[in-house]
């Protein structure tokens, strides 16, 4: 297992380097001059050239990329163009908000999606099953920004239950987490239902029932454990996409997280800020995928045996 984890971590290195090169290239060749965006339209030619020289933007592309990678390996991700403070500090200030939003959405998605999927499978073709499938279809078809606005209009403006914007208290995260979890919970419900339906028709499930095992034991000990692998995969993929896909939701709810920080950095062509955000999300997504693979070993002994060989 330790050797396998080491191999996976080493495999992440070329992936991260490839992502960094692609993002650096995109930021370099997209239209717009960061000097002009930062200094404004009233800046003189001399001021712009001085700023570009101080930031090293007049150097060759590969020289700048190599310098960035060298500094990043030493923990120095540069200074933001807009606020002129450390990228690491700016990212650290915004990170807790996004992490709370992502974790809250995953917890809500799992705590509702998995039980509803299990009930739908056990009560196949019942009224509960049909309602859950129709609800899942509706949630999947709703755009996240539209759902977020509707939740703000109803629960914030009309009922006054939750704040519409900000991150002052835990109540500020209720509506954003619900918005993010909605569509992903719908896919989790369908995935859980389909896998449970496939498992509960197996011979060993009928054998467990024939031996007199309680239905709860049959469902949660025998059936759910064998249906967990695809469910864990969906949860891991959704968590990774949540970290990179909070831009719209953070904008709708005016939350100062990584999403809005990245969006503003792209508008200003703030390359150090964009690079740090994307690399952090890519690195975190890689470790999430590694965690999912490790969880496979705890769920399925056959996979654990394969890891032991590697």
pLDDT digits (tens, 9 = 90+) for 276-309: 888 888 888 878 877 877 777 776 666 666 655 5
Q: Rounded to an integer, what distance in angstroms lies between the CA atom of residue 87 and that of residue 85?
A: 6
Mean pLDDT, the chain, as a whole number?
80
Q: Rounded to an integer, what distance in angstroms lies between the CA atom of residue 184 and that of residue 203?
A: 31
The conformation of residue 96, written as its DSSP 8-state character, comes to H
The domain limits of the chain are 2-73, 90-309
Q: Would you list the DSSP string of 280-297?
A: HHHHHHHHHHHHHHHHHH
> Cα dist. 34→52, 80, 83 in Å?
9, 11, 13
**CATH number for the 90-309 domain, one of 1.10.3720.10, 3.40.720.10, 2.10.109.10, 1.10.3680.10?**
1.10.3720.10
Q: What pLDDT band is residue 161 in, cutting at 50, 70 and 90?
A: confident
User: Token match 């390359």: residue?
Assistant: 271
- Residues 57 and 34: beta-carbon distance below 8 Å: yes
Residues whose CB falls within 8 Å of the CB of residue 107, separated by 6 or more in sequence, listed in order: none
Residues whose CB falls within 8 Å of the CB of residue 119, separated by 6 or more in sequence, listed in order: 128, 129, 132
**pLDDT per residue as tens digits for the range 61-114:** 888 888 888 888 888 888 887 777 888 888 888 888 888 888 888 888 888 888
Work out the average pLDDT over 237-242: 75
């Amino acid at each position: 297992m330790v050797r396998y984890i080491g191999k996976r971590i080493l495999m992440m290195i070329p992936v991260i380097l490839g992502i960094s090169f692609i993002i650096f290239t995109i930021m370099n060749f997209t239209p717009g001059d960061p000097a002009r965006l930062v200094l404004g339209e009233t800046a003189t030619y001399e001021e712009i050239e001085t700023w570009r020289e101080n930031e090293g933007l007049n150097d060759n592309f590969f020289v700048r990329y190599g310098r960035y990678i060298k500094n990043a390996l030493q923990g120095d991700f540069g200074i933001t163009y807009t606020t002129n403070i450390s990228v690491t500090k700016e990212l650290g200030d915004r990170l807790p908000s996004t992490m709370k939003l992502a974790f809250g959405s995953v917890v809500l998605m799992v705590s509702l999606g998995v039980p509803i999927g299990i009930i739908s499978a056990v009560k196949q073709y019942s009224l509960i099953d049909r309602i859950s499938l129709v609800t899942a279809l509706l949630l999947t078809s709703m755009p996240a920004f539209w759902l977020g606005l509707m939740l703000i209009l109803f629960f914030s403006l009309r009922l006054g239950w939750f704040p519409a914007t900000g991150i002052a208290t835990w109540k500020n995260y209720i509506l954003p987490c619900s918005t993010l979890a909605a569509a992903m919970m719908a896919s989790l419900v369908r995935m859980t239902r389909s896998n449970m339906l496939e498992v509960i028709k197996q011979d060993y499930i009928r054998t467990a029932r024939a031996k007199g095992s309680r239905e709860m034991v049959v469902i949660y000990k025998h059936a759910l454990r064998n249906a967990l692998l695809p469910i864990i995969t969906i949860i891991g993929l959704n968590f990774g996409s949540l970290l990179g896909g909070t831009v719209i939701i953070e904008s709708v709810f005016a939350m100062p997280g990584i999403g809005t920080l990245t969006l503003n950095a792209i508008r200003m062509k703030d390359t150090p800020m964009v690079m740090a955000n994307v690399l952090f999300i890519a690195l975190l997504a890689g470790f999430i995928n590694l965690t999912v693979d490790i969880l496979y070993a705890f769920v399925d002994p056959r996979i654990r045996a394969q890891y032991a060989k590697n």
